[in-house]
Amino acid sequence: MLHQTTFLTIYILTITFIFGCALGSFTDCLAGRMLAGTSILKGRSHCDACGHVLGVPDLVPLFSWLCLRGRCRYCGAKIPAESFWAELVSGIACCLIVYRFDVSVLALRGMLLWIVFLCLTLTDLHAWIIPDRLQVAGVLIFFGTAVCLPETGAQILRGVLTGAGLSGGMLALSLLFERLTGKESLGGGDIKLFFVTGLYLRSIWEVLFFLILSCVLGIGCSLVWRKGKIPFGPAIAVAFFLMLLFGEQLTGWYRGLWLL
């Protein structure tokens, strides 16, 4: 459907971008409320500094932050740039997902997973926490969308075995590392997240490249930020979405290196 005409492609991707930016705004708010321990279903959005309830002009993705120059309309307090970047990146990510999977169940799965992984990235960056409810959401998305795809039973079995093998293997490596060095390595949230990501990986090659990519991204972030220890959840999330979108191409290139 997406690629029938150029106009239709542009139209669908434009709508997807707007929708994705709105999802990014929602997810940024969701992460903040999770960390604050407040309800994600009750209460209207408000300024964290003055508490003033925000109106429609204050909640337009991207444009509100730009027009207000990153300040609250009511008290002038600074609004973190994270809000703008979460909206922008979310819009781009949703466009990539729809462009990759067209208008399909896989595209719906991808956007739902994007909300979950963006949220856990924000919570892990701010407070070193990957809430269990987000892990559960990732599992439910897998089972809920698998029933709408071909070979449902085979996909579920393969996903569960891959997830269990990946998380179990990383747990064993983590315990061995801690015993040998006396230093903490992976947290419990990271191990659970490996299980969730393993549900969606389709081959041993994807698992291997995903692990390598996660480690490379984690090391790269530590070198850039120079904070010593950093949360690993964001690196896992970024690596997973690269695999979700470009897994076949990346693993094809990686296999080629070994089969030369």
Contact 130, 120 (CB under 8 A): yes
Q: What is the pLDDT of residues 71-124, one digit of tens each?
A: 878 787 788 888 899 999 999 999 999 999 998 999 999 999 999 999 999 999
Residues 6+ apart with CB under 8 A from 237: 117, 118, 120, 121, 193
Structure tokens at 130: 């990957």
Residues 119-133, mean pLDDT to the nearest whole number? 91
Residues 6+ apart with CB under 8 A from 71: 77, 78, 79
pLDDT at residue 110, as a whole number = 95
Give the DSSP per-residue string, 176-187: HHHHHH------
Structure tokens at 258: 């070994």
pLDDT at residue 259, as a whole number = 64
Domain ranges of the chain: 1-103, 107-260
Quick check: 227 pLDDT over 70?
no
Per-residue pLDDT band for 248 (boundaries 50, 70, 90) equals confident
HSE, side-chain direction, 13 A CA sphere, residue 186 = 24
Structure tokens at 55: 């109106």
Quick check: 171 pLDDT over 60?
yes
Backbone angles phi, psi at 43, to 5 degrees: 90, 140
pLDDT at residue 142, as a whole number = 95
Residue among 244, 239, 241, 237 at smallest CA distance from 119: 237
Structure tokens at 253: 């290139």
Per-residue pLDDT band for 23 (boundaries 50, 70, 90) equals very high
Q: What is the pLDDT of residues 44-63, one digit of tens each?
A: 777 777 766 777 777 788 88
Rg (CA), the chain: 20
Q: Which residues pair with 71 in a beta bridge?
A: 78
pTM exceeding 0.75: yes
Contact 106, 150 (CB under 8 A): no
Gap between the Cα atoms of 194 and 190, Å rounded? 6
